Structure 1
Amino acid sequence: MRILITGADGQLGSELCRVLGYETIIPMTLPEFDLAKPDVEAKVVAASPDLIIHAGAYTDVDGAEREPDEVVAVNAEGTRQIAAAASRLGVRLIYISTDYVFDGQQCMPYHEQDDPHPINQYGFSKWKGEQAVLASGTNSLIVRTAWLFGAVGKNFVKSIAQAAQSETVLRVVDDQRGCPTYAEDLAYAIVALMTKDVVGIIHVTNRGHCSWYELARAVVREIGADCPVLPITTPQAGRLAKRPQYSVLSDSRCASLGIVLPEWSQALARFATGPGLFSTEPQRASLPQS
């Protein structure tokens, strides 16, 4: 099977390339493949894949507030082109989305049928991407995930691990809750979903949930660092973009298919034993040649 993966050198894309190494991978990455350009659809059609996994995205949540046109061009219009290509080719599309399509006003886990109401530009752009996929009429699956961490690129877990080695104290937000998700586990779940006759929207995260503060404390504990972690509020953090206070995703639909990811704390412990935790930019994935 020929599988086209956008963002193939990113946090999730690199893991997908690794676990799907037995297939023929068509990696699509910057700068040759730019989701903000008008030739995205043509390039995907020319590649003639049997399956598309659209993991590429603009993911800088605060940066999206400064560049609203750019984030929409990549995450919404770029996704519309990907979906149009999938429709023209008659192939399945798996689109990776986010918990940030929700406003965080619930006090119980979000299910797939709950109405999105994004409160920042990043979440809005990903929601527009979801709408484009659903409107395309192609055989598609939207995979919403959350709080992703892994060996490639930047993420919260790596940032905390590195900061704990040099800072005297860490102050971390304690009034936002979500589901930390290990990119390796998510990649294996997506591979499992490829074998299922499932369409629409599905939530896929590691089990359990926590605050950023609780996650930071777990990271510091895993690496054995002697660095205090103190809780602060969202206003004290002073971030540009609003974040949902509670964006926990229910994995009940995923579990009903027999796909259950480990608890986030177990996934973190596995990640902490490998070399990826302290890797820094510009580490990139080793990609197959298409």
Structure 2
Amino acid sequence: MKVLVTGSNGQLGYDVVNELEKRGHTAIGVGIQEMDITENKSVSEVITKANPDAVIHCAAWTAVDAAEDNVEKCRLVNTTGTENIAGVCKVLGIKMMYISTDYVFDGQGTRPWSPDDERNPLNVYGQSKYEGELAVENNLSKYYIVRIAWVFGVNGNNFVKTMLKLGKTHDHLTVVNDQIGSPTYTYDLARLLIDMVETEKYGRYHATNEGFCSWYDFACEIFRKAAEINPIYKDILIDPVDSSAYPVRAKRPSNSRMSKEKLSDNGFKRMPSWQDALSRYLKETQF
């Protein structure tokens, strides 16, 4: 199978390309230099020339707070860019996987979100990703919309790397404890995404590592596991705080729990626990 992957230099795209190649598929990784997704002509030329069996669309505007002040730029990437890709996939008759986000929901309550729950984004970023989902749904029948959350990978910046960096210069940190979700290792996620794209089991899915925690819980586990590898992280004190302690431009969902039952129902192997994923990640990163 030949698969074109957008955003191949990002955390997830990097691992998706590696996983495709590991399985013997042909991976065509593209960044903005190879294909500007906001330009329909560029998208049409590159995808048509590549003639892939599928497109996995990982590229996105992910600067959540900056999106509040750059609405049109964010929409151009996340909505128009996705619409451009979906349009070409429709013409060529190929399947498309769109990587979306928990931010399409309003984050209320405590029940895990199901893939077909009503979408009601809280911020510009979430709205642009919701509109991207609609662009896929309105153009294609052979599509997967896969919502992910709280990702960390070897290639790129993430919460784990930020915590480890802060831990080298601070012995006391405060981390929010009123937002709940599932940390997700891009290595595990990439394997699941390729499992999915190798089938014709289309539709909306949620894909995160198993288990839920707050950012505070996540930070505590990061330092607990990191201290087993490097003792400089042993005596760091972490205090839980409300989100109000860290005012930000974009409102965040407090409930990012997502149900993965649909994965099981369709025969896909769900990812390991986030704690297991974090252990493997720390060993892999050689921080």
Common topology (TM > 0.5): yes
For 2:255 and 2:12, the matched residues in 1 are separated by 23
1:91 aligns with 2:101: no
For residue 75 of structure 2, the aligned residue among 66, 72, 76 is 72
Q: Percent identity?
A: 38
Moved more, 41-50 or 59-68: 41-50
What corresponds to 2:280 in structure 1? 270
Which residue identity does 1:233 align to in structure 2? D
What corresponds to 2:230 in structure 1? none
Q: TM-score, normalised by structure 2?
A: 0.93
Q: Cα RMSD between the aligned structures?
A: 1.2
For 2:108 and 2:239, the matched residues in 1 are separated by 25
Which residue identity does 2:196 align to in structure 1? L
1:239 aligns with 2:239: no
For residue 37 of structure 2, the aligned residue among 35, 38, 41 is 35
| SS of equivalent to 1:141 | strand
| Residues 126-178 of structure 1 deviation map (CA, whole Å, 9 limit, x = unaligned) | 11000000000241010111111011111111111111111121111110011
1:134 aligns with 2:137: yes
Query: What are structure 2's unaligned runs of at least 5 residues?
Result: 228-232
> Which has the higher relative contact order, 1 or 2, with Cα contacts under 8 A spaced 6 or more apart?
1
Contact 1:172 1:230 in 2 (8 A): yes
1:223 aligns with 2:226: yes
For 1:113 and 1:183, the matched residues in 2 are separated by 24
Contact 1:12 1:55 in 2 (8 A): yes
Which residue identity does 2:50 align to in structure 1? A
1:260 aligns with 2:275: no
1:39-50 correspondence to structure 2 within 5 Å: 39=41, 40-50=43-53
For 2:198 and 2:53, the matched residues in 1 are separated by 14
Deviation, 1:230, is: 1.1
Contact 2:113 2:256 in 1 (8 A): yes
Contact 1:83 1:138 in 2 (8 A): no
Deviation, 1:103, is: 0.7
Query: What are structure 1's unaligned runs of at least 5 residues?
Result: 279-290
Contact 2:17 2:28 in 1 (8 A): no
| Residues 27-64 of structure 1 deviation map (CA, whole Å, 9 limit, x = unaligned) | 11023322233432333223211111001111111111
| Residues 94-130 of structure 1 deviation map (CA, whole Å, 9 limit, x = unaligned) | 1100011111112110001100110011111111000
Moved more, 37-46 or 81-90: 37-46
For residue 167 of structure 2, the aligned residue among 157, 164, 168 is 164
For 2:271 and 2:34, the matched residues in 1 are separated by 34
What corresponds to 1:15 in structure 2? 15
Contact 2:17 2:27 in 1 (8 A): yes
What corresponds to 2:5 in structure 1? 5
| Residues 192-235 of structure 1 deviation map (CA, whole Å, 9 limit, x = unaligned) | 11233211201111000111111111111111112111111111
| Residues 232-252 of structure 1 deviation map (CA, whole Å, 9 limit, x = unaligned) | 111111111100000110000
For 1:31 and 1:67, the matched residues in 2 are separated by 22
What corresponds to 2:63 in structure 1? 60
Contact 2:175 2:219 in 1 (8 A): yes
For residue 115 of structure 1, the aligned residue among 115, 118, 126 is 118
